[in-house]
Structure 1
Amino acid sequence: MPPGGEGEIEVTFDTGHKKGKQSKTITVESNDPLSPIVNISVMADIEVEFDFETAFIRYGAVNKDKGASKTDFILIKDPNLTKIDSIVTSSKFVKAEIVNKSAAVAGKKELEITLLPGMPIGNLNEMISVYSTLPSKPKIVLNINANVIGDVEVDPMAMTFVISDSNTVLGNQLFTVNIDSHMKDGQRLEILGVTDSDSLLDIKQRTITDGQKYALEITPDIAKLPEEQRFEGHIAITTNSVDQKEIDVTYMIVRRR
């Protein structure tokens, strides 16, 4: 660029799944001795023609016999152009419907997502698809996740240990897995066994409330760690629960080079 000349920077926002007000910073480096580095702030308000307000809903622990409900909003820029044709869920245990139709907020439709009783125990990952008349975007998808439990709640269900080349644990060196009873009629929860599939962990069991609440304190056994960059193992928790006789907890060992 000659002295006194002007340059032009063209900026394109990759909207992706972003919506609403977004800002980015552009750094320009030059051979100007007075201002070798200049930061430029760029802002944009990304309008949404048709999409969910939230891309993902996490329910956490849900009892299989009780179910649970949450709501999300469907964003619609032009209601005259975009009409909802149908709402489809990927499971018979998931129900989704528009609520408060007469009192809908302008540009939004409230969607109630209900997990129905009778769900299978374990990790639930399902989708809700909403079809519309908008030619440019005829379909939007909402992902939902829940940890469906029966008589026993275990948290967390997965953990990751990060190991350095020198066999030093980076980040969390200790994970505590909580085991809570939801048994009825005064039944007592008994932990009959805890087994590591590859004997790579040091697991200590503690009783918080006898018959009701227990905890597992888990650390990796440095002397036994595998050489693989990524290793997946499993902890089997055996109980006297009719619903959950054996509960699987996953762990990962990741080596950071």
Structure 2
Amino acid sequence: MVSEPIVAPGAEAKIEVTVHTAGRHGVLAKTVTVSSDDPVNPAFKLNISGTVEVAVGFDPERLSMGDVMTGDTIVQQVKLVGSKAKEVKVVEMVSSDPNLISGKMVKGAKEPTLEVTIKPGDVARRFGGLLTVKTNLESPKEVQLRVDGRATSDISVDQDRVHFFFDENGKSTRDVVVFVSTIKGTKFKVTGIEDPQNMVQAKIDKVGDRYQVTMTMAEGKQVANSTLWILTDQKGDAEKLEVIYSARVQVQRPPNANPMPASNLPQIQRPRTIPTAIKGEIPQHPKVEALQPHAEKK
């Protein structure tokens, strides 16, 4: 936020920046781009850096499991970190989905450690949930660990939903690339694709132990949701891998288009004779030390 929309020659204006630190810890670096109608220096960057200190947090901050086998049970360890980590006592653990996520403290560990058990189930799906750890501290009274991933069969495609774009003339603006891989190291082969709409063409290449499928829209036609299948030489669920796709026109932005409306840009008034330098310095690398979580730094 700028204190004055118009900065006269020799005048000053304050730039107010708010940094939200909720859910973060450690080194934090952000960049703010300030735009104006100054023809000499239309934009400059304001760099903000600092360290967010937490009383209690997790390392890693979240558990992103990627692809895991349906029916498997995964056990991961997460450390409690922060200025009060060694003195904290866990009062209770609450799971958003007890059938998916559960946790317990590891006894005898040198550092406070949480053991998280994840059971994605027997159905191929994307999963996610929260494990809330309630503490004996006044602040924070609880901390949350986010868990996510995708339960899949041994052979799977990394994207089961893709988007195509084409220009006003119906020409595809970019290809869509997906990869088919195996979790267990099973030998397999991708043999082609099957598209009932006959709108998508594919090029198949073997890259290491997985297959790269490059897909192109053959016709510029808008599609809300349609289904194609990537075919393999396997039997059962891995024989046809489903991919849902959509297609729409991509509006091209004119070159050098300013994303901010001109009416919203700060206006810098310059004299009609010899320009006067703006007094004062704008700090390029301000240091923000010891930011507190869940607080705002201005």
Question: Please, what TM-score do these two structures have when normalized by structure 2?
Answer: 0.58
**Is the 8 Å Cα contact of residues 238 and 246 (structure 1) preserved in structure 2?**
yes
Equivalent residues in 2 for 1:211-226, closer than 5 Å? 215=211, 217-226=213-222
Question: By how many angstroms is 1:249 displaced?
Answer: 2.1
Q: Which has the higher strand share?
A: 1
Per-residue CA distance 1:144-183 (angstroms, 9 max, x = gap): 2223233433334333333333434334x14244254959
Greater shift after overlay, 20-29 or 121-130? 20-29
Q: 2:247 aligns to what SS in structure 1?
A: strand
- Superposed CA deviations along residues 82-125 of structure 1, whole A, max 9, x for unmatched, are 43222233142433233365400xxxx33333334854333222
Distance apart, 1:10 and its partner CA: 5.7
Aligned mates of 2:9, 2:178 — CA distance in 1: 64
Map 1:218-257; keep pairs closer than 5 Å. 218-226=214-222, 231-236=224-229, 241-242=235-236, 247-257=241-251
Q: Distance in 2 between matches of 1:244 and 1:158?
A: 17
**Unaligned runs of at least 5 residues, structure 2:** 1-6, 252-298
For 2:20 and 2:66, the matched residues in 1 are separated by 32
Q: Which AA in structure 1 matches 2:92?
A: S
CA contact (8 A) 1:81 1:133 kept: no
| Aligned positions, number | 242
Q: CA RMSD in A?
A: 4.6
What whole-Å deviation, never above 9, does each CA across 1:10-49 have from its counterpart, x for those lacking one?
65432233322223456778999xx998865443221113
1:150–1:182 contact (8 Å) kept in structure 2: no
Identity, % of aligned positions? 19
Q: 2: CA distance between counterparts of 1:97 and 1:163?
A: 51
Separation in 2, partners of 1:15, 1:248: 40
Q: What TM-score results when the alignment is normalised by the length of structure 1?
A: 0.66
In the other structure, the counterpart of 2:270 is none
CA distance in 2, matches of 1:54, 1:69: 14
Relative contact order higher in (CA < 8 Å, ≥ 6 apart):
2
